[in-house]
A = this chain, B = another copy of it.
Amino acid sequence: MLEDKNFSKTPIASLGEFGLIDRLIEPFTIKNESSENSIGDDCAIINPLGKKIVISTDFLTEGVHFNLGYVPLKHLGYKSVVVNISDIAAMNATPTQILVSIAVSNRFPVEALEEIYAGIKLACDRYSIDLVGGDTASSNAGLVINITAIGLANDEEIVKRAGAKVNDLVVVTGDLGAAYLGLQILEREHSVFLANPNMQPEMEGYDYILERQLKPEARTDVKKSLEDLGITPTSMIDISDGLASEILHVSKQSKVGFRIYEDRIPMDSLTVTTAEELNLNPIVCAMNGGEDYELLMTVSPNDFEKIKNHPDFTIIGHVVDEQQGNFLVLKGSQELSQITAQGWNVFGD
């Protein structure tokens, strides 16, 4: 893919590590009062302004989390930021800073790194966050990106995975399963391309699910929506590994069980029709697909009237006692199917 782009090919070694960093960070500006010291010192300095700090870090490795055969570098940079600040949103905090570390082999020209940083800058601008630190390193193998994201919140605003109570409502934002089906389409067309490079990829009509895969957004807007509704969730987590896996995390941390209703799980119509086209069960895609970066939360049953008509929140079930376990209530019956972790196991075969 690097070959397609008509990049200039400035070797990284021609700039040196510090010249490279200067060139990559030049377009970034500081937007948050809390970012006191940025790149150019041993550490960034963050002024917490009386709030607490939440912090999360994630690796993205070539061939495991992304395939440069069909993921454009700018999208990769954007998505790397989004998946991290999604964790900040899941704490009901506001993302404020990121630190970006990238390890690449010498086969990457400076211009390829600039594409990644252009995507990172887009995300920083879209979400009003500051790039305040990081590292660039050489790697003997593929591209590896590590992003650390920082957010601020008042103590009473922070929502953890632990906190769900029996009888709470289970709520998700947006719709699920689309990102996974977008990946299936990308992989299908990539296989076709590898078999016959003259074939045109058939991407038309798949816009929504492709965008959900290639350019996901973090639900940093949900904090404001919840404030407007006067709701503080009792627990919250972002849906990165699939709804099933996240349900089990909250179950474990909150020591409760879940009843999720199959017919309540929100899916876009394109998600459903694409799943059927590929002979996949749409519910399995929503439960186990992952990468939707929507939020799963539990709210008090007293908040039912406040949330029931909000177009962006869907009530998909309720919380039960831990002994009752985690089950999906199947459509058109009262039959129960146990929820098991089939989220991405990055070390599996």
Mark A residues whose CB is within 8 Å of B.
12-13, 15-18, 20, 36-37, 40-48, 52-65, 87-88, 90-91, 93, 99, 101, 103, 106, 132-142, 144, 146, 148, 150-151, 158, 160-162, 236-238, 253, 341, 344-349
Contacts and interface: CB of A to CB of B under 8 A. Distances in A.
Contact of A48 (B44, B53, B93, B103): B53
Contacts of A146: 57, 59, 101, 135, 146
A85 to B, nearest CB: 10
A48 B58 CA distance: 22
A103 B63 CA distance: 12
A59 B346 contact: no
Given A48-B48, A55-B150, A138 B101 contact: no
Given A137-B59, A238-B42, A144 B103 contact: yes
A91 B43 contact: yes
B141 A101 contact: no
Given A42-B90, A57-B99, A57-B135, 14 more contacts: A15-B347, A37-B54, A42-B87, A42-B88, A45-B53, A45-B54, A45-B158, A46-B52, A46-B55, A60-B137, A61-B140, A65-B137, A139-B144, A141-B141
Nearest to A51: B48
B56 A45 contact: no
A255 to B, nearest CB: 13
A1 B61 CA distance: 24
25 contacts: A12-B347, A15-B347, A17-B345, A41-B160, A41-B161, A42-B54, A42-B87, A42-B91, A42-B236, A43-B151, A46-B54, A47-B52, A53-B53, A55-B150, A59-B135, A59-B137, A61-B137, A64-B103, A64-B139, A64-B140, A99-B148, A136-B346, A138-B347, A140-B142, A146-B146
B345 A13 contact: yes
Contacts of A349: 13
Contacts of A42: 54, 56, 87-88, 90-91, 161, 236-238
A99 B347 CA distance: 20
B52 A45 contact: yes
Contacts of A160: 37, 41
The residue in A136, A144, A253 that gathers the most chain B C-beta atoms within 10 A of its C-beta is: A144
A66 to B, nearest CB: 12
A346 B12 CA distance: 10
A327 to B, nearest CB: 20
Given A61-B138, A139-B141, A345-B13, A55 B41 contact: no
A347 B151 contact: no
Contact of A43 (B17, B43, B46, B56): B56
A345 B16 contact: yes
A263 B106 CA distance: 39
Contacts of A133: 55-57
Nearest to A141: B141
